[in-house]
Amino acid sequence: MNRHRASRYQMRRNARRMRRYGVEPMALITEDLEFAPLVIASIARAVWRYRSELAPLTIAAAVLVTGVILRRWFPEWWPTVIIAVVLVAGAVAIWGRWVNLPRPIERGYAAVTTAFAGTWLTLAAYQGPFTAPLPAVLGIGTLVLAVPWWAHRRRRARVRVERTLAAWPDIAQAVGLAGSRVQSAIVDLWGYRFRLGLGLGQTVEDALTAVPRLESALGTTRGGVRVQPVASKKANRADVRVIETDPHADAIAWPGPSITSITQPVKLGLFEDGMPVRVPFLRRHGLFAGISGAGKSGGVNVLLGDLTACQDVILWAIDLKRGMELLPWSSCIDRLATTPQEAEALLADAVVILDGRADDLTRRGERVWEPSPERPALIIIIDEYAELASEAPRAIDYADSIARRGRAPAVNLIAATQRPSKEAMGKSAVRSQMDVRLCFRVREPRDGDLILGQGMVKAGWHPHKLDAPGKFLISSPEHDIPRRARSYLLGDERVAATAERHAEGRPSLDAVSLAALDAAASTAERHADAPTEEERTSPRHARQTAPKRGDSVLWAVLRDAPENGITVDELKTATGMSRPTIYRRLSQLENDGRVRQVSRGRWRARLDPDPA
């Protein structure tokens, strides 16, 4: 009795499965009411299960039946058939990519198969399908052409995925997602992904919680399943991606600069599906964070490789490791600070530029600074921001001001640090204003929340599971779902070659910024030189008549400079002039054609008569 009930239950279960996947069961009334339906259901189930493997035989049978029909009722159509075959085979060979045949070898196989079937149909219509040797030709040709079909990797992967997902009701029951259903599935080079319709009352967070159980049920490796919300933001949908071959197992070589203007999005790397990670940095502050050795510096190098190719951006940099990380880019960096004092002065000057640009925008009646080669944006790269907070605390006030007010005047910060805690970042405005956040590997989940924002780990952002240098998660207005990516690899030799190539033609600071720096320097010098009341009444003050060195001294130094030129720091030492004043005067002399830039950051007078 129990066996009879089990058989009926199994029949109903098989019938439900066949209806779900397009097969309608048939019931025959015979003397053996139990055996016949089971046999028919088993055969139908086997045929449906192996429909992909049986496809060549099915097509051969269809071609044979079509040949019989043509010979019996339409024998005069054989010229039309051969013309149609030539057209179809040619169309498949040329435009097959539009019907899911992306590779040339796949299009060639489809064209050959079409030509074979069409030629056989033509001969069958003209001579008869059973005229020797046509039956043997059809059989042998079917077996020969079936071998590539049976061996095709993508077909076998698709069949395997279909069979795995066919058992989804049982899998869903086992992992705690009963009632969910697979809506669609796509096989790619590295695995497959499917759209999951969640059951009543289930959310994406429930699917995220079930990820370890999904990995076990689907037979993948640990960390091989990704669950994320769908782009349409529907609460009862989730995208599940199963990684069978890690696309980021090997480093990805940097293909070269992807932009020529800061107004274009920078390409930092590739997502797991091969799509590029494109991020706009104009009027945005950025944060690169992760443990030591996770790939932060590599990500910053990729960013610099693109930014140095832009003619509408000035780069300043702070590297308190004495320039170990950013010094290779010095030929493209307009100003590089390697000590706490230089860092503080650099950020102070950046605030001056910010204020000067804001005043200029007000006078023009404009809201934002539009970058151009004549009016470039200013981006400040800060490596190991935590060192800045501990060694130059006064600089944090300037960084905080830039973070709050620097977007409209196009003065932006890009900070790299290991752990952006409150102590490391100083005031909270800097971290809270970071629109673009790249999180490389971290040790603990709470560090992911610290970098990406509170609650992000619970929402599916798991940087603590990243397993190789260069892998990262990105959070920005364009990237609001957790997708793993890997940054390009830009080695030391490539950095040196790129910096040398991009050093030529780098823009100079705009007139508005130079004027603001000059005005601030003049004010500071007046305050520094102003004597106190006691000094003014002192007899010694009357004897202090040492004159200041000016443009004539600057010209003399430039004229006597060596063939490889002289740097701004050397000019500052020789003339006693401030750096902003030197920059402004050099810009004027260069526009007048009296000095030239021998190499990046090194100047020399032209061999013309003394302008004085």
Q: What is 156-243's CATH topology?
A: Threonyl-tRNA Synthetase; Chain A, domain 2 (3.30.980)
Give domain 252-519's CATH superfamily: P-loop containing nucleotide triphosphate hydrolases (3.40.50.300)
* pLDDT value, residue 20: 55
Compute the distance between CA of residue 183 and CA of residue 194 in angstroms, rounded to an integer.
7
* pLDDT value, residue 548: 38
Backbone angles phi and psi of 406, in degrees to 5 = -85, -5
* pLDDT value, residue 18: 56
- Using one digit for the tens of pLDDT, what is the confidence trace for 257-306? 999 999 999 999 998 877 899 999 999 999 999 988 888 989 999 999 99
* pLDDT value, residue 540: 40
pTM: 0.65
Which range (96-110, 341-355, 519-533) has the least confidence?
A: 519-533
Compute the distance between CA of residue 22 and CA of residue 393 in angstroms, rounded to an integer.
70
Cα 412–415–417 angle (5° rounding)?
170
Task: With both helix axes pointing from N to C terminus, report the angle between 104-127 and 55-73 in degrees, rounded to the nearest 10.
Answer: 30
- Using one digit for the tens of pLDDT, what is the confidence trace for 464-473? 888 889 999 9
* pLDDT value, residue 526: 55
* pLDDT value, residue 283: 92
CATH number, domain 549-605, options 1.10.3210.10, 1.10.10.10, 1.10.287.1260, 3.90.190.20: 1.10.10.10
* Binding residue positions: 290-297
DSSP for 399-451, please give it. HHHHHHH-TTTTEEEEEEES---HHHH-SHHHHHTEEEEEE---SSHHHHHHH
State the CB neighbour count (10 A cutoff) for residue 72.
11
Q: Give Rg (Cα) of the chain.
A: 36
* pLDDT value, residue 543: 33
Mean pLDDT of 42-66: 84
- H-run or E-run covering 488: strand 484-489
* pLDDT value, residue 14: 67
Compute the distance between CA of residue 518 and CA of residue 578 in angstroms, rounded to an integer.
8
Compute the distance between CA of residue 382 and CA of residue 391 in angstroms, rounded to an integer.
13
* pLDDT value, residue 307: 95
Nearest CA to 356 out of 507, 588, 519 is that of 519
* pLDDT value, residue 525: 58
Mean pLDDT of 416-438: 76
Compute the distance between CA of residue 180 and CA of residue 96 in angstroms, rounded to an integer.
35
Residues 6 or more apart whose Cβ sits within 8 Å of residue 409? 353, 354, 357, 358, 361, 368, 369
Q: Where do we find the tokens 């402004």?
A: 584
* Binding residue positions for ATP: 290-297
- Using one digit for the tens of pLDDT, what is the confidence trace for 159-201? 878 877 888 988 999 999 999 998 888 877 778 888 999 999 8
Whether the Cβ atoms of residue 447 and residue 419 lie closer than 8 Å to each other: yes
User: 80-87, long-range: CB within 8 Å, 24+ apart, which pairs?
Assistant: 81/118, 81/121, 81/122, 81/125, 82/118, 82/119, 82/122, 84/118, 85/114, 85/115, 85/117, 85/118, 85/119, 85/121, 85/122, 86/115, 86/118
Compute the distance between CA of residue 327 and CA of residue 1 in angstroms, rounded to an integer.
84
- In 3-state terms, what secondary structure has residue 52? coil
Alpha carbon 226 to its chain's center: 17
* pLDDT value, residue 611: 43
Which range (20-29, 137-146, 519-528) has the least confidence?
A: 20-29
Backbone angles phi and psi of 168, in degrees to 5 = -60, -40
* pLDDT value, residue 36: 63
Q: Which amino acid is at 442?
A: V
Mean pLDDT of 330-341: 89
Mean pLDDT of 320-349: 88
β strands within 251-367, DSSP E? 252-253, 266-271, 276-279, 285-289, 313-319, 335-337
State the CB neighbour count (10 A cutoff) for residue 136.
9
Compute the distance between CA of residue 258 and CA of residue 63 in angstroms, rounded to an integer.
51
Cα 166–171–173 angle (5° rounding)?
125
* pLDDT value, residue 263: 94
* pLDDT value, residue 473: 94
Percent of the chain, pLDDT > 90?
A: 30
Compute the distance between CA of residue 206 and CA of residue 385 in angstroms, rounded to an integer.
37
- Using one digit for the tens of pLDDT, what is the confidence trace for 450-463? 888 888 888 888 89
State the CB neighbour count (10 A cutoff) for residue 280.
17
* pLDDT value, residue 425: 64
Nearest CA to 422 out of 377, 470, 390 is that of 390
Whether the Cβ atoms of residue 149 and residue 56 lie closer than 8 Å to each other: yes
Whether the Cβ atoms of residue 335 and residue 506 lie closer than 8 Å to each other: no
Compute the distance between CA of residue 286 and CA of residue 476 in angstroms, rounded to an integer.
9
Backbone angles phi and psi of 397, in degrees to 5 = -60, -40
Give the 3-state secondary structure of 205-267.
Answer: HHHHHCHHHHHHHHCCCCCCEEEEECCCCCCCEEEEEEECCCCCCCCEECCCCCCCCCCCCEE
Which range (252-256, 392-396, 508-512, 583-587) has the least confidence?
A: 583-587
Confidence of residue 19 (pLDDT cuts 50, 70, 90): low
Compute the distance between CA of residue 67 and CA of residue 166 in angstroms, rounded to an integer.
36
Mean pLDDT of 551-558: 75
Backbone angles phi and psi of 243, in degrees to 5 = -95, 115
DSSP 113: H
Identify the bridge partners of residue 194 per DSSP, sorted by sequence position. Answer: 185, 240
Alpha carbon 35 to its chain's center: 59
* pLDDT value, residue 38: 72
Give the 3-state secondary structure of 530-580.
Answer: CCCHHHHCCHHHHCCCCCCCCHHHHHHHHHCCCCCCEEHHHHHHHHCCCHH
Confidence of residue 374 (pLDDT cuts 50, 70, 90): very high
pLDDT, the chain, mean:
82
* pLDDT value, residue 149: 85
Residues 6 or more apart whose Cβ sits within 8 Å of residue 378? 313, 314, 316, 350, 353, 410, 411, 412, 509, 513
